Amino acid sequence: MNFKIVGNPNNPKILLIHAMFVSSDSFEALSEYLKEDYFLIIPTLDGHDVNENSIFMSLEDEADKILSYLKQNNIENLDFILGTSLGAIIAFELYKRNEVQINKVFLDGGPFFNFGPFLQTIAFKKFWGICNSIRKDSKNALKKLDSLFPGSGNNMLQVCSHITMLSVRNLAHACYSFSLPKLDEAAQKPIIFLYGTKEPARMCIPRLRRYKYSAIIKKVGYKHCGYLLSNPKDYARMLNEK
């Protein structure tokens, strides 16, 4: 796992955790609106770095490595963390461990489902099918990816062409086997769940209503992580204001 750092180390520190099939580069546009006020810590998750041959093993393993980095660099307080999609699950895993003080937790498009092995296998086949289709026809895949995920097409093309079958299998398990932790009122209040009204992951919102002291924001008309990709300036403003 490699870490990108952006901004002044003396500023408040924030952690950004990316979605599946992209890397830390997926936060490049957002970083432009945050780097003057914050010190950004942005890991590229295992299996997603085209410059190394790592394997994504589990969300617990990723959380271990992020916490290890923070401790090695004497970072004990984060102004906020932002996790998108897969990154939202890992961010939640970090937060529930309570090993670092985190003032706000933004979880965007997190698929907080807990499916059995059969549905996880279906998810794996779908994810691996996406990777194979991208490898077979990269030119047309790039156009489609950029239309679905503005500005992320090239990043996704590179990652999907590099990632291994084992990583994808483990990713399918990580995305659809998360058990929601019990949190008291104080632990719930810093959490903000964010979903577009056109993304499938919004279907887990009923499960999240158990956190009655957390906020759930719905962005009308947006698909998966679409608000971040389409409006990074407004997104940064939201992070600052909440």
pLDDT digits (tens, 9 = 90+) for 88-116: 999 999 999 999 999 999 999 999 988 88
240, 241, 242: which is closest to 11 by C-alpha? 240
| pLDDT tens per residue, range 15-54 | 999 999 999 999 999 999 999 999 999 999 999 999 999 9
- Give domain status of residue 106, yes or no: yes
| Res 228 pLDDT > 80 | yes
Domain that holds residue 45: 2-113+179-241
Q: How far is it, in rounded angstroms, from Cα 121 to Cα 76?
A: 38
Q: Could you report the per-residue pLDDT of 137-157, keeping only the tens digit for each?
A: 777 777 777 666 677 777 888
Conformation bin of residue 217: beta by default, left when phi > 0, alpha when psi is -120 to 50: beta
Q: How far apart are CA 80 and CA 106, in angstroms?
A: 7
Q: What is the CATH number of the domain that holds 52?
A: 3.40.50.1820
Residue 118 forms part of a structural domain: no
In a domain, 32, yes or no: yes
Give the pLDDT mean for 167-182.
92
Rounded distance between C-alpha atoms, residue 234 and residue 18, angstroms: 18
Look at residue 87 and tell me if it is in a domain. Answer: yes
Is 120 inside any structural domain? no
Q: How many domains does the chain have?
A: 1
Residue 183, domain member (yes or no): yes
